[in-house]
Amino acid sequence: MALAAALPGAALAQAYPNKPITMIVPFPAGGTTDILARIMGKALEGELGQPVVIDNKGGAGGNIGAQAAARAAPDGYTLMMGTVGTHGINEALYSKLPFSPLGDFQPISRVAMVPNLLVTHPSRPYKTVKELIEFAKANPGKVNFASSGSGTSIHLSGELFKAMTKVDMTHVPYKGSAPAVADLLGGQTDIMFDNMPSVMQHVKGGKLRAIAVTTDKRYPGLPDVPTIAESGVPGYNATSWFGLFTNRKVPPDVLAKLSAATMKVLAKPEVVQQMAEQGAIAHPEKPAEFEAFVKAETAKWGPVVKQSGARVD
């Protein structure tokens, strides 16, 4: 009888997955989170043998999608592409968060590290960080910097720049990176500290001008673009990250399968290349390692949010 009682659970674990998997993207289609999710979704289909359906649920800095993922059944059929915003920043930014970044979520693996790129519309007069600073100081409040939302890593990259250079720029938040980039392309805003995958194609196509990268070292894919730090703002460094999560109560066997599949996918040269072409660096990680990293990021970004003055009720 005991053996019979154990069989259904064992069969369920062995059968996983036996139906399509949903990957929630907590931002609109077209942004970096969406791009990386689609690369991962397609690759995971080959490993798991089931379709991976991308479900964009944007809004509230990623909180709407994250809440939906947190409330999904803990069966491994709902994944989420989380970000430094949803799982490292929002807890300090929002007075009431509708989910717990680690209490409700089980980290599977970090997926990629992504430098931010300071870009501007080609019609703007500044081509270097020095020229941007000089223009902003001569025209206080007149330089608008777009972001994917208040408190996002893109927003805080701009706030960090303001604080370190003592310039007055106006923040223009959007509901996701894609609409922000669209207005930047149209000349409605001036600059943006966006994730590389969202703007790389526009830089290569000449529709946007790359001024500098936000990391402490130059990005290999854009060797001629200097860092903000080497352009006159020593110590400046801001990087975004993206990772896969599922419900905290997912069975260990299911988590093990998801972890193994993700690690295998992120080691494939074609996946690494696809991400590199978008400006992202693949970063496979075991669940425990990723969880420790998320905890460290939460501790890191809390003070930055407080210093920026950003707050959402």
What residues does each domain of the chain span?
18-113+239-308, 115-231
Q: How many CA atoms lie within 13 A of 15 on its CB side?
A: 11
Site of tokens 């009682």: 5
Q: Which pLDDT value is given to residue 2?
A: 53
Closest CA to 36 of 89, 79, 98, 97: 79
Within 10 angstroms of residue 227's Cβ, the number of other Cβ atoms is 21
> Angle at the Cα of 58 (from 52 to 59), degrees rounded to 5?
160
Please tell me the predicted confidence (pLDDT) of residue 212.
98
Q: Give the per-residue pLDDT at 14.
A: 59
- Cα separation, 65 vs 80, in Å, equals 8
What mean pLDDT is reported for the chain? 91
Residue 33 buriedness (CB in 10 A; 0-12 / 13-18 / 19+): buried
Query: In CATH terms, are 18-113+239-308 and 115-231 the same topology?
Result: yes
Q: In the structure encoding, which two tokens stand for residue 148, read together?
A: 């994917």
Chain centroid to Cα 102, Å, comes to 17
Side chain identity, residue 65: G
- Give 10-residue mean pLDDT values along the chain (313 residues): 49 78 94 94 97 95 95 98 94 91 97 94 97 98 92 87 93 90 97 90 95 91 94 91 97 98 98 91 96 92 80 75
Domain 115-231 sits in CATH at 3.40.190.10
Task: Tell me what pLDDT residue 104 has.
Answer: 98
Cα–Cα dist 269/132, whole Å: 38
For residue 10, the model assigns a pLDDT of 47
Considering the four listed CATH numbers 3.40.190.150, 1.10.10.10, 3.40.50.360, 2.60.40.60, the one that applies to the domain covering 18-113+239-308 is: 3.40.190.150
In this predicted structure, what is the pLDDT of residue 308?
75
Pairing of strands 52-56, 21-25: parallel
Q: Given this model, what pLDDT does residue 252 score? A: 97
Q: What tens digit of pLDDT does each residue of 59-75 get?
A: 888 999 999 999 999 99
SS3 readout for the chain: CHHHHHHHHHHHHHHCCCCCEEEEECCCCCCHHHHHHHHHHHHHHHHHCCCEEEEECCCHHHHHHHHHHHCCCCCCCEEEEEEHHHHHHHHHHECCCCCCCCCCEEEEEEEEEEEEEEEECCCCCCCCHHHHHHHHHHCCCCCEEEECCCCCHHHHHHHHHHHHHCCCCEEEECCCHHHHHHHHHCCCCCEEEEEHHHHHHHHHCCCCEEEEECCCCCCCCCCCCCECHHHCCCCCCCEEEEEEEEECCCCHHHHHHHHHHHHHHHCCHHHHHHHHHCCCEECCCCHHHHHHHHHHHHHHHHHHHHHHCCCEC
Backbone CA torsion sign across 302, 308, 309, 313? negative
17: preceding bond cis by omega (within 30 degrees):
yes
Helix axis angle, 252-266 to 269-277, nearest 10°: 70
Radius of gyration of the chain (CA): 20
